[in-house]
Amino acid sequence: MAILAGEELRRRVLKWTPPLVAPCAEEQLQPNGVELTLAEVGVWRGAGRLGFDNDDRVIPEAEALAFDDDGWITLDAGGYAVTFRETVNIHDDLCAFARPRSSLLRMGATVATALWDTGYRGRSRALLLVASPAGVRLRRGARLIQLVFLKLPAPLADGYAGAFQGEV
């Protein structure tokens, strides 16, 4: 496997249908990935449940928190549900993973994500962990993670078909 980078990454984001990530500003394109931005922050109301079978899975609702009039939100130490602004479309010859931006780490926060499987489409969600006792302030649209795409040896005929396909 190889990382999708440079001009091929740019082409797949800006010129392919469907694009890997949309909408996407030039500032979000990096040499080895695409940055995803903050749309919503929420807190969970209730406990989740996960067993071996998906029949045992319960994902609790996350109640959206309000940004101030200037588009900022102050978050205390703790865990938060974040939704990204962009729609991700993982092509049949790719999968993806994400890493937090180093600026986020340097202020005492990180984002935990899962693997983006071949064929996934949607506006993804992730876990924002604020470790700093002083908390953090984030602006709506802040670039939180860099999505890195791995090229598979060959396209997959059957991609992701799970419960989170088409998240909005």
Where residue 140 sits, what CATH number does that domain have? Answer: 2.70.40.10
Structural domain that includes position 103: 2-46+60-150
Residue 166 confidence (pLDDT) above 80: no
Which residues lie closer than 8 Å to 154 by C-beta, 6 or more apart?
93
Flag whether 159 is in a domain.
no
Contact of 45 with 87, CB cutoff 8 Å: no
Is there a cis peptide before residue 18, judged by omega within 30 degrees of 0?
yes
| CA-wise closest residue to 148 among 6, 11, 15 | 6
In which residue are the tokens 């067993």 written? 51
Flag whether 158 is in a domain.
no
Which residues lie closer than 8 Å to 111 by C-beta, 6 or more apart?
82, 98, 100, 104, 126, 127, 128, 129, 144, 145
Say whether 10 sits in a helix, a strand or coil. Answer: helix
- Sequence-ordered alpha helix ranges (H) in 15-109: 102-106
Flag whether 54 is in a domain.
no
Percent of the chain whose pLDDT exceeds 70: 100
Structure token pair of residue 14: 């800006």
- Tens digit of each residue's pLDDT (9 = 90 or more) over 20-69: 999 999 999 999 999 999 999 999 999 999 999 888 989 899 999 999 99
Q: What is the C-alpha to C-alpha distance for residues 10 and 20, in angstroms, rounded to an integer?
A: 9
DSSP state at residue 167: B
Flag whether 75 is in a domain.
yes
Model confidence band, residue 75 (pLDDT cutoffs 50, 70, 90): very high
Flag whether 116 is in a domain.
yes
Flag whether 160 is in a domain.
no
- Tens digit of each residue's pLDDT (9 = 90 or more) over 135-157: 999 999 999 999 999 999 999 88
Flag whether 90 is in a domain.
yes
Q: How many domains does the chain have?
A: 1
Residue 57 one-letter amino acid: R
Flag whether 131 is in a domain.
yes
Say whether 59 sits in a helix, a strand or coil. Answer: coil
